[in-house]
Amino acid sequence: MAREKGGFWVGFAAAVFYPATALMTRWRTEGAHHIPETGGVLLVMNHVSHLDPVYDAVLVHRSKRVPRFLAKHSLWKVPVLGSVLRGAQQIPVYRGSADAQQSLRAAHEALEAGKVVVIYPEGTITRDPDGWPMAARTGVARLALEHDVPVLPAARWGTRDVYDHYRKKFRPLPRKTVVTAVGEPVDLDALRAQPQNLALLRETTDLIMGRVKDLLADIRHEQAPDGFYGKKV
């Protein structure tokens, strides 16, 4: 399989990210074969550390695909990082502004163009003290329902042991273990056939994130809690 072309900045990021993941951790991946060789893909992931995109980018790149992340627009203002994000055609997310819908529009266009779009539906690093997923935003459901592409749940665990943002702890040594698991596509055919409304968007979001949480429970070898942190009953 030929590698999807990513250009200079994708190559630059790969040259930094590959050795970084190897130096900081022992990393094991499961189910990466679920990422198809071509065509649009929506990769839905949990979010526990600012290091997550480094591992998730390498995961997709190892599959010879180029990831398009939805990321906070403020990152585009960071020196060097902003250049990488622009050059690698990543997708800025604007919240609480007139540009908010533009973020989803760019993601829709990427899926239509046959790209791999990586999304963290929680919108930020989970605030759950035990690292389980929070209640997610419904933008992921809009993308999943409006495109006939594989929607792949995926979970990653171990990056917070290296860098815990909320506790301000960076502990690269001794090397930690990171595990990433990619699941089978979520069957959304029945939901895609229904009229789209807020209830359907919430149902779809919780279904997809439920699969993410199940994968996380498997790689943590723990029982997942009911529901999602921060969600009102």
Residues 35-63: what's their mean pLDDT?
Answer: 97
The mean predicted confidence, pLDDT, of the chain is 91
Give tens-digit pLDDT for 79-120.
Answer: 777 778 888 888 888 765 555 566 688 899 999 999 999 999
Give tens-digit pLDDT for 52-82.
Answer: 999 999 999 999 999 999 887 777 778 777 7
Give tens-digit pLDDT for 128-168.
Answer: 999 999 999 999 999 999 999 999 999 999 999 999 999 99
Q: For residue 199, with 0-12 CB atoms within 10 Å meaning exposed, 13-18 middle and 19 or more buried, which class applies?
A: exposed
Structure token digits, residue 213: 């949480």
Domain boundaries, the chain: 8-220
Structure token digits, residue 221: 């070898």
SS3 21: helix
Fold of 8-220: Glycerol-3-phosphate (1)-acyltransferase (3.40.1130)
Grade residue 232 by pLDDT with cuts at 50, 70 and 90.
low
Closest CA to 70 of 117, 138, 110: 117
Residues 216-224: what's their mean pLDDT?
Answer: 97
Structure token digits, residue 107: 């993601």
* Statement: residue 6 has pLDDT above 90: no
pLDDT of residue 25: 96
Least confident segment among 11-20, 24-33, 80-89, 116-125 = 80-89
pLDDT of residue 84: 80
